[in-house]
Chains A and B, each alone.
Chain A
Amino acid sequence: MPDVQALVNDFVNKLRKRKIEGSQATARHTAEFLRSVISQQRIPYTNQAGALIDSVKAVGEQLIAANPVELAVGNVVRRVLHIIREEDLSLTTAAIGDLNISDGSDDDENDRDDRPVLSAAALAAAARKTLRPPSLHTLLEDVPNATIVPLSSSGGDSEGKCKSADKSSRIRKLKHDVIEAVNELIQDIDTCHEQIAEQAVEHIHQNEVILTLGRSRTVMEFLCAAKEKKRSFRVFVAEGAPRYQGHVLAKELVARGLQTTVITDSAVFAMISRVNMVIVGAHAIMANGGLIAPVGLNMVALAAQRHAVPFVVVAGSHKLCPLYPHNPEVLLNELKSPSDLLDFGEFSDCLDFGSGNGEPQLHVVNPTFDYVPPNLVSLFITDTGGHNPSYMYRLIADYYSADDLVLQRKSAAGN
């Protein structure tokens, strides 16, 4: 499939070169890209889902390696994998239903001898299990490679039993269903802002003071939605050095008629006692309910905790990452160019490697993200509603299947 490979390379290059910016755009692009990969994937007669999963996994690994900091890529890849598994399962259970009916008429003796213990029901149970993360239920139940059983047997069984026409329609059906589901995912990503914004009125009350830092589109729409519902409130915007996205946000808010006050990042603590709620966006939500967020937010969260101000995070579900943060300050961070902070020309004499002992006395560090531990977050508002940080793992269990976590682990081990 040279075409697919070319597409992959192209997309990988874009990710590598940081040509796509922002989690939402990345998530959307990734989903669309995976959709095209799936639609171009030729599917064998047997084990179709397995083939799809393998190809998506292979592609996904490359994508994640291309920009390990943008977690949305991995999230979407895993979401798509989960979708494939789900669609395959629903088809398999349907097929097994057919199989059982036909069992009565067909000579099923051989089959039974081969697999005496695996009745259709057991198979279904095993299949059901594969979508869930490993749990105490499954601990004793089946052999570790349980996932293979439903996948291969679905292909194998159906091949033995089904008519060829039936077969090809099933193949098409799986692909079709998966693409449908991916389309839904893309739509979800597109509409996540609106869905989050819908909940704004429940959280923002009359005459409240809201504080935010930097600029997040989700936050902006959230605030504006509350404004449109005739809530009047004031917004403090911390400017979000060094990129000063807060200035942009302030402009946008004022354009929508919101009372806005711009403050410096360092004034957050001074102002926090007058604030009723902190609403911020996030780069990613980790599985433990921790937050990867624009730099400076940890400080805001600590200030909010000090004054018992609720710290609310709004983020689309594509930012939900099934990984746990380990050493997040370093590994999940990206150090940008120091030129955001300092003018190179002005400081070029401090960056002089040719004098003294060859090392400059001036170092500039410009991290992009902060890690906010879960105990500082009061509430997450995603497109599915508000959640406690400790509940995040539940959402993750809904969105991702446990087998796909390995995908990341492999590439992480490879690094």
Chain B
Amino acid sequence: MVRRTSRAAEDADDLTHVPLQAILLADSFATKFRPITLERPKVLLPLVGIPMIDYSLEWLESAGVEEVFVFCCAHSKQVIQHLAKSQWLKNPDMAVTTIESHNSISAGDAMRVIYERNVIHGDFVLVTGDTVSNMSLAEALQEHKDRRKKDSNAVMTMVVKKSKPSPITHQSRLGTDELFVAINPDTKQLLSYEDNANPIDKSLLSDNSSISLRNNMQDCYIDICAPEVLSLFTDNFDYQHLRRDFLKGLLVDEITDYKIYTHEIHSSYAAKVENFRSYDTISKDIIHRWTYPLVPDVQYFGSSAVKLGRQGVYSASDIGLSSNAQIGPFTLIGKGTSVGSNSKVSNSIIGEGCKIGSNVSIEGSHIWNNVTIEDGCKLKHAILCDGVVMKARAVLEPGVILSFKVVIGKDFVVPAYSKVSLYEQPIFQDSDEELEYADSSNGMAEISSISASTGMPDGELVSRAAEASEVGADGAGYIWSVFEGREEEWRHSVAPISEDKLAELLQAADDVLDVPHVENHQHSEELVAPSIDPENLTDDNIDEFEKEVEATFQRAVQENIKDDNVVLEVNSLRLSYNMAAADCAGALFYSVMKLAVETPHSSISELLHNVTRLIRKWAKLLKYYLSSIDEEIEVILKFEEMCTESTKELSPLFTKVLQFLYEDVDLIQEEAILSWESEKMGADEVDRVFLKQAEPFIQWLKTAQEEDSEEEE
């Protein structure tokens, strides 16, 4: 209390003082930690024995944050309970308030909920509850504030950290993809943020006198935001993901001109637990003391005392080590844990109250509390949640996750990368990782339904589990099948990546980076991106791009936006998705046609009328993108695709529309149609349906051309 008043007095002269606030998202809106997160929220999972959220909160407190809003969604009760139990809610130096919401499915939703609460009054720190850091915010905050004074559009400062620009380090350290960012080296403004090595648009180079392209950056997921950020989320209700939607959205948004800056940290540590691999890596970074003072032997968390011995062995009190147990380097042994004779433990974290038998070998594993491991078991790079029992001589191959209270039967060998839980795997799966955030809505609902059922008596649970013999005769638990589309389980697993996979990765990286090796801080014209190879673009990207363009177009129609502005917006989208002009044309044309189809009509002729009307209306816009034959061909191809796939209604009109485009609005020239035809000639019968339909028209064109040439002669 004394502190508070004194602080208030200090700040009396600074009348504009607003307490430094932070938003902590205690929900990852992801499913990477399944099946563990079915029973416990990710932020409460122990990282070197301490729930992740405690690291984040401790750091915020020590960084001088005065008010934190903890946003909880899935398992919100557990989070709130934890906060109450660990005294966070009564912390005199930092007010911790929880905000509960059960229908938020993404970070974007969370931001919108918080905006509605109207609790953020100034600049705030936006982090997730799985951030581990020891950085001092003061400098970054000051930078941010200074920038804000000069330019109110500098809404966000993003913390980045240098990491070695090796093509595989991102993958093998944190299990994330490589990150390419373009930063203005003078102002530190962030210009581009890409997950893959897609080239940077030329316009970036033309707009900025100097630009530094970096592939040696690690995003720490710590953002210092202006209050406008919240309203931005509300304005753009489709923003879901902080990086994928919001950040990129701002970067390409040329209208509002909001700017994002970066702050690079050097000596301090910051990282986010995103998947099992980063969980493992960050745990080890903590053990290796990079996060000092957030290390086990400094009693930051008021937990039981842990002593650090030589060779990085951390041991708590009351541990029963048999005299010939070998405790290897960089290991933590929690309170009340016993290790039997001839057992070997190395590079592992063992929680409290575990019983480890003799002749057990544990390597690089994370063992939580009250785990029983009977004699002769072998573990390598596994995660064992609370209450797991491993019967005698069971073996875990690398990368295994055993969720709460799983029992592995005698002599059973759990195959590599298996995930075992007492709960059965939900039937539906979000197959596409890209859509994970959207899909997690279902995931969340399902999780909460399951968490509601966790209240069932243990007996029932056990009896249910007893039937499951997937994990040995006397075991309990279901082995979750590996998701489709995620066969690359090794990427995010706790187990190290095997040599051949590493070699593969390196090879792949080399292929992608066939382009001149991108040096740090190199900003010259030779960095000009190689020409775009459409083959290289994934379909997802195109789809998403098309959706964006369509949305833009619809807005334009509804709000009567001028063509010029639409062009601007489409251009910015094109930059962010790295699309060619042809793609824009295709997408725009698609949007126009779709609008036409969606306009109420009763007959084909009416539809045709709609189409012609709309094309006429937006001809100018379309024309803007149809500057070359390539683009025109793209439009025809697009149209053909529409007729075959999405909007079959249009198929009878194909030739008519084509003709219309050629004759009436002069959007497509005959060369384009002819080269389309010659391209299609070699195609399958199926693909030539429309070619046939357009046959007479093309024929006519050809003759007309001949006549023309004759006339000229």
A residues adjacent to B (C-beta < 8 A) = 6, 10, 16-19, 65-66, 330-331, 334-340, 343-349, 351-360, 363-364, 366, 414-415
* A359/B347 contact (C-beta < 8 A), A10-B3, A348-B173 known: yes
Select the residue from B62, B299, B308, B309 with max chain A CB neighbours within 10 A: B299
- Which of A6, A339, A356, A358 is close to B269, meaning CB atoms less than 8 Å apart? A339
On whether the beta carbons of A345 and B302 are closer than 8 Å, the reply is no
On whether the beta carbons of A364 and B266 are closer than 8 Å, the reply is no
- Which of B162, B300, B308, B346 is close to A345, meaning CB atoms less than 8 Å apart? B162
Docked Cα-Cα span, A66 to B161, in Å, equals 31
* A355/B497 contact (C-beta < 8 A), A337-B291, A348-B173 known: yes
Closest residue of A by beta carbon distance from B168: A355
Docked Cα-Cα span, A330 to B312, in Å, equals 11
On whether the beta carbons of A356 and B496 are closer than 8 Å, the reply is yes
> A61 CB to closest chain B CB, in angstroms?
12
Select the residue from B62, B288, B290 with max chain A CB neighbours within 10 A: B288
On whether the beta carbons of A359 and B364 are closer than 8 Å, the reply is yes
- Which of A65, A336, A346 is close to B299, meaning CB atoms less than 8 Å apart? A65
Docked Cα-Cα span, A347 to B267, in Å, equals 12
Docked Cα-Cα span, A214 to B302, in Å, equals 32
On whether the beta carbons of B164 and A346 are closer than 8 Å, the reply is yes
Docked Cα-Cα span, A414 to B316, in Å, equals 11
Closest residue of B by beta carbon distance from A354: B172
On whether the beta carbons of B267 and A339 are closer than 8 Å, the reply is yes
Docked Cα-Cα span, A353 to B366, in Å, equals 14
Binds A, one of B114-122, B277-285, B630-638, B684-692: B277-285
* Chain B contacts for A337, CB-based, 8 A: 134, 267, 269, 289-292
> A41 CB to closest chain B CB, in angstroms?
18
On whether the beta carbons of A331 and B285 are closer than 8 Å, the reply is no
* Chain B contacts for A414, CB-based, 8 A: 317
Which 4 residue pairs are nearest across A and B when measured between Cβ atoms? Answer: A345-B162, A354-B172, A337-B292, A349-B164
How many residues of chain B get a CB closer than 8 Å to chain A's CBs? 57
* A16/B169 contact (C-beta < 8 A), A338-B290, A345-B163 known: no
Closest residue of A by beta carbon distance from B270: A344
- Which of A16, A351, A363 is close to B285, meaning CB atoms less than 8 Å apart? A351
Closest residue of B by beta carbon distance from A336: B292
Docked Cα-Cα span, A352 to B168, in Å, equals 10
* Chain B contacts for A18, CB-based, 8 A: 293, 298
Extra pairs beyond A17-B300, A339-B269, A352-B173 (19, CB < 8 Å)? A16-B298, A331-B307, A338-B290, A345-B164, A347-B164, A348-B169, A351-B173, A351-B284, A351-B285, A353-B284, A353-B496, A354-B172, A354-B173, A354-B497, A355-B502, A357-B496, A358-B280, A358-B363, A364-B288
> B643 CB to closest chain A CB, in angstroms?
48
Q: Would you give the 0/1 interface string for B627-669, flagging 1 where the beta carbon is closer than 8 Å to chain A? A: 0000000000000000000000000000000000000000000
Closest residue of B by beta carbon distance from A345: B162
* A349/B169 contact (C-beta < 8 A), A16-B302, A338-B290, A355-B496 known: yes
* A348/B163 contact (C-beta < 8 A), A16-B298, A357-B496, A358-B495 known: yes
> A3 CB to closest chain B CB, in angstroms?
9
Chief secondary structure at chain A's binding surface: loop
On whether the beta carbons of B305 and A415 are closer than 8 Å, the reply is yes
Q: List 9 A-B contacts (CB under 8 A).
A: A337-B291, A340-B267, A344-B269, A344-B290, A351-B173, A352-B172, A358-B363, A360-B288, A363-B329
B150 located at the interface, meaning its Cβ lies under 8 Å from any Cβ of chain A in the complex: no
B330 located at the interface, meaning its Cβ lies under 8 Å from any Cβ of chain A in the complex: yes
* Chain B contacts for A330, CB-based, 8 A: 308-310
- Which of B281, B308, B317 is close to A353, meaning CB atoms less than 8 Å apart? B281
Docked Cα-Cα span, A338 to B267, in Å, equals 9
Docked Cα-Cα span, A215 to B294, in Å, equals 26
Docked Cα-Cα span, A408 to B164, in Å, equals 46
Docked Cα-Cα span, A355 to B381, in Å, equals 12
**Which residues in chain B, 103-139, are within 8 Å of chain A measured between CB atoms?**
134
* Chain B contacts for A336, CB-based, 8 A: 289, 292
Docked Cα-Cα span, A287 to B218, in Å, equals 49
- Which of B266, B290, B291, B330 is close to A359, meaning CB atoms less than 8 Å apart? B330
* Chain B contacts for A344, CB-based, 8 A: 161-163, 266-267, 269, 290
B residues adjacent to A (C-beta < 8 A) = 1, 3, 58, 62, 92, 134, 161-164, 166, 168-169, 171-173, 175, 216, 218, 266-269, 277, 280-281, 284-285, 288-293, 295, 298-300, 302, 305, 307-310, 312, 317, 329-330, 346-347, 363-364, 381, 495-497, 502
* Chain A contacts for B166, CB-based, 8 A: 349
> A52 CB to closest chain B CB, in angstroms?
22
Closest residue of A by beta carbon distance from B305: A415
* Chain B contacts for A415, CB-based, 8 A: 305, 307, 317
On whether the beta carbons of B312 and A363 are closer than 8 Å, the reply is yes
* Chain B contacts for A6, CB-based, 8 A: 1, 92
* Chain A contacts for B346, CB-based, 8 A: 359
Docked Cα-Cα span, A354 to B307, in Å, equals 27
> A331 CB to closest chain B CB, in angstroms?
7
* Chain A contacts for B216, CB-based, 8 A: 345
Docked Cα-Cα span, A354 to B134, in Å, equals 23
> B427 CB to closest chain A CB, in angstroms?
32
Docked Cα-Cα span, A123 to B218, in Å, equals 72
Docked Cα-Cα span, A16 to B296, in Å, equals 12
Select the residue from B62, B218, B267, B302 with max chain A CB neighbours within 10 A: B267
* Chain B contacts for A335, CB-based, 8 A: 289, 292, 295, 308
* Chain A contacts for B266, CB-based, 8 A: 343-345
On whether the beta carbons of B277 and A16 are closer than 8 Å, the reply is no
> A11 CB to closest chain B CB, in angstroms?
11
On whether the beta carbons of B168 and A338 are closer than 8 Å, the reply is no
Docked Cα-Cα span, A343 to B62, in Å, equals 22
* Chain B contacts for A339, CB-based, 8 A: 267-269, 290
* Chain B contacts for A345, CB-based, 8 A: 161-164, 216, 218, 266
On whether the beta carbons of A16 and B3 are closer than 8 Å, the reply is no
Select the residue from B172, B277, B381 with max chain A CB neighbours within 10 A: B172
> B306 CB to closest chain A CB, in angstroms?
9
* A354/B281 contact (C-beta < 8 A), A66-B299, A347-B164 known: yes
> B79 CB to closest chain A CB, in angstroms?
22
> A59 CB to closest chain B CB, in angstroms?
16
Docked Cα-Cα span, A348 to B163, in Å, equals 6
* A16/B300 contact (C-beta < 8 A), A353-B280, A354-B496, A357-B496 known: yes
Closest residue of A by beta carbon distance from B283: A353
> A18 CB to closest chain B CB, in angstroms?
5
> B244 CB to closest chain A CB, in angstroms?
24
Closest residue of A by beta carbon distance from B267: A339
* Chain A contacts for B175, CB-based, 8 A: 354
On whether the beta carbons of B347 and A358 are closer than 8 Å, the reply is yes
Docked Cα-Cα span, A65 to B299, in Å, equals 9
> A205 CB to closest chain B CB, in angstroms?
42
On whether the beta carbons of B289 and A338 are closer than 8 Å, the reply is yes
> B316 CB to closest chain A CB, in angstroms?
9
> A314 CB to closest chain B CB, in angstroms?
28
* Chain B contacts for A359, CB-based, 8 A: 329-330, 346-347, 364
Docked Cα-Cα span, A353 to B497, in Å, equals 9
Closest residue of B by beta carbon distance from A411: B305
* Chain A contacts for B267, CB-based, 8 A: 337, 339-340, 343-344
* Chain A contacts for B330, CB-based, 8 A: 359, 363
Docked Cα-Cα span, A65 to B302, in Å, equals 10
Docked Cα-Cα span, A355 to B175, in Å, equals 11
Closest residue of A by beta carbon distance from B498: A355
Docked Cα-Cα span, A176 to B300, in Å, equals 36
Docked Cα-Cα span, A337 to B292, in Å, equals 5
Closest residue of A by beta carbon distance from B312: A363
On whether the beta carbons of B62 and A17 are closer than 8 Å, the reply is yes
* Chain A contacts for B281, CB-based, 8 A: 353-354
- Which of A65, A348, A356, A357 is close to B305, meaning CB atoms less than 8 Å apart? A65
> B584 CB to closest chain A CB, in angstroms?
38
Closest residue of A by beta carbon distance from B494: A358
Closest residue of B by beta carbon distance from A364: B288
